Structure 1
Amino acid sequence: MSLTTTTHLNFRGDARAALEFYRSVFGGDLAVVTHKDAGAVRDGSEADQVMWGQVLAGNGFHVMAYDVPSHLRHDRGENSFFVSVRGETVEEVTAHWDELADGADIVVPMGPASWAPAYGMLKDRFGVVWVLDVVSEHSA
């Protein structure tokens, strides 16, 4: 038996746009089930919002997301989670960084760190904080 973990992001109406953006950055396949598709519509204005969605790529990237319905409380909080993406080379990580940085607030610019050949942190246009780094002897 084996286990995997997948980051599951919660949004308020932006899940599809976020998943499409992450697919453009990391590649892979996008799958989306709306509240309407699932027969779970409580508010007609939310029928086409995401009840379940994911991007799954052959390179190992996997993220899930959904739109929290308006009848449920939703508070992103501050620093409640980071999404960590770790690659094997500076070139690989920097390529993803460059795309994620579109419309983002840079928290820590991408560059060498004492524990890794490359490290950076940003808050993307959807408010999600991403940490990207390169595997090193300290982080393997």
Structure 2
Amino acid sequence: MSLNAVAHLNFTGQARAALEFYQSVFGGQTTVVTYGDFGMPAELPDATKVVFGRLTADNGFQVMAYDVPGTDGPAVPATPTTRRENGTTLTRERFFLSVRGETVDEVSPVWKGLAEGATVVEEFGPSQWAPAFGMLTDRFGVTWIVDVAAAHA
């Protein structure tokens, strides 16, 4: 038996846009099902929102997305919740998403794509523990760590 964990991101009306953005970064195919597809009357405000969304890329990357019903709001909090201060990361977030590759060339395009419209927490580049590491909060308020696996001796 094998198990895998897939991040399931909750949005306030931006799930479709987030999935389209992540598809532009990672490639792959999206699946989007709306509340209306599940029978919600079209005249209700949530009918076009995403009740089930998923991106699956050829390289194994997956993410799911959902619009919490009855919510509309900004994609990103007014005050960033993650920042670097005095060499440490301070946050109120319960989790970050991590994308790790084997080479700088492999993950650099991911960083560049996610960085479009993002707030950079720590610039992508060499670090003490990895050939490359960076942290950012994307335009949808999701904080990502992008890094390259360190070679093991």
The sequence identity of aligned pairs, in percent, is: 56
- Kindly tell me: are residues 131 and 49 of structure 1, through their superposed partners in 2, closer, same or farther at Cα, counting changes over 3 Å? same
| CA shift for structure 1 position 38 | 1.4
Asked if 1:104 is matched to 2:127, the reply is: no
Counterpart Cα distance in 2 of 1:22 and 1:41: 29
Structure 1 counterpart of 2:125, which letter?
G
Q: How does 1:54-133 map to 2 (within 5 A)?
A: 54-70=54-70, 78-133=92-147
For normalisation by structure 1, the TM-score amounts to 0.89
User: Counterpart in 2 of 1:21?
Assistant: 21
Using the TM superposition, name which of 129-138 and 23-32 deviates more. Answer: 129-138
Instruction: Output the amino acid matched with 1:96.
Output: V
Alpha-carbon offset, residue 92 of structure 1 = 1.1
Once the two structures are superposed, residues 45-100 of structure 1 have per-residue CA deviations (whole angstroms, 9 ceiling, x without a partner) of: 110100000100110110001000117xxxx8831221110111101111110011
1:136 shift after superposition: 1.4
Change (3 A) 1:132 1:43: farther
| Distance change >3 Å, CA 45–CA 117, structure 1 → 2 | same
- 1:16, 1:118 → 2: CA distance? 30
Q: Which runs of 5+ in 2 are unaligned?
A: 72-76, 82-91
Matched to 2:61, the amino acid is: F
TM score, norm. by length of structure 2: 0.82
Unpaired runs of at least 5, structure 1 = none
Q: Give aligned pairs, total.
A: 134
In structure 1, what residue type is equivalent to 2:34?
Answer: T
Structure 1 stretches of at least 4 aligned residues deviating more than 6 Å after TM superposition: none
Task: State how far apart, in whole Å, the 2-side matches of 1:135 and 1:106 are.
Answer: 20
- CA deviation after TM superposition for structure 1 residue 40, in Å: 4.5
Root-mean-square deviation (Å): 1.9
After TM superposition, give the deviation of residue 39 of structure 1 in Å: 2.0
